[in-house]
Each structure stands twice: as C-alpha cells, then as structure tokens.
C-alpha cells in the first residue's frame, strides 16, 4: 500500500467512529440501514466488514445498546442506539473534530465557517489525573 493510501485509510478510520456515533445520535439503525445512511452522505464505500466490528467494540465499551426487533420485511434485525455515555462521547468527539477542522482551515489561510474555532486545540497527550 502506498504511503498516501495508508494515510487516507488511517484518517478515514479515525473519523468513521464519530460518523457512526453521529448517525446513531439522530436515530437508531440496524446494520444495513446504517451503511445506507452513511454511504448516502458521501462517496465512500462503507461495508459490513467495516461497520460491524466498530459497532461490536462500541457496544462492549457501553457506548451503544443493541436490541433485536421483528421486521415485516424479513428476519429480525438488530437495532443499535446510543447510550447516555455514547451521547456524551459523541458530543466531545464532535467538538474535537470541529477544532481539528478549524486548525486545518487556519493552516491553509481560510477562516472557520462559523467564525469561531472554539477553545485552543491542545496537541499531545492530556493528563486526566
């Protein structure tokens, strides 16, 4: 894999979790409906092999709940929804994402869309003690 391709893949993986949390913040989804909703938002190819491991990890971390529900269009579907902890994390990650976007915009010489980059971005490890 070329270095640029690796970096693009790494960038997408980092943002995909936030995209999943944001989609689930709006409404609960079953796996395929989540893939459709996220694919409709852009031209990225998102597959079950990408989504389900993330959903499983988010569930193990207590950020997402799942529930099997009957479907009139086939077999039961496993629906996913954010827990309160998932909603809190989503808000925090979205704020950090906005700060990073503002940093990139500022670095290329254009102002942030909303005119306010928010708090100063701290690059590096934070001490949570």
Q: pLDDT per residue over 7-60, tens digit each?
A: 988 888 889 999 999 999 999 999 999 999 888 877 777 888 989 999 999 999
pLDDT above 90 (res 118):
no
**DSSP, res 123:** P
Looking at residue 58, what is its pLDDT? Answer: 97
Give the range of the structural domain holding residue 27, as residue numbers without chain letter: 3-107
CATH number of domain containing 26: 1.10.10.10
Beta pairing partners, 80: 29, 66
The model's pLDDT over 61-106, given as tens digits with 9 standing for 90+, comes to 999 999 999 999 889 999 999 999 999 999 999 999 999 999 998 8
At residue 24, the pLDDT reads 97
CA–CA distances in Å: residue 111 to residues 104, 108, 122: 10, 9, 19
Q: Residue 113 falls within a domain, yes or no?
A: no
Residue 88 lies in a domain: yes
Is residue 90 assigned to a domain? yes
- The count of domains in the chain is 1
In a domain, 114, yes or no: no
Going from the C-alpha of 103 to that of each of 63, 97, 128, the distances in angstroms are: 28, 10, 23
pLDDT at residue number 126: 43
Report yes or no on 124 lying in a domain.
no
Q: Is residue 73 part of a domain?
A: yes
Distance, CA of 24 to CA of 93 (rounded, Å): 14
Q: For residue 14, what pLDDT is reported?
A: 82
Residue 129 lies in a domain: no
């Amino acid at each position: 894999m070329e270095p640029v391709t690796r970096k693009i893949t790494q960038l997408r993986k980092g943002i995909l979790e936030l995209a999943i949390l944001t989609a689930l913040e709006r409404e609960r989804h079953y796996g395929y409906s989540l893939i459709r909703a996220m694919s409709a938002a852009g031209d990225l190819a998102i597959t079950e092999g990408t989504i389900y491991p993330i959903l499983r990890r988010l569930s193990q971390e207590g950020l997402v709940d799942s529930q099997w529900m009957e479907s009139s269009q086939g077999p039961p579907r496993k629906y996913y929804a954010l827990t309160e902890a998932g909603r809190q994390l989503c808000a925090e990650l979205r704020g950090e994402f906005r700060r990073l976007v503002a940093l990139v915009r500022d670095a290329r010489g254009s102002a942030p869309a909303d005119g306010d980059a928010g708090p100063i971005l701290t690059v590096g490890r934070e001490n949570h003690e």
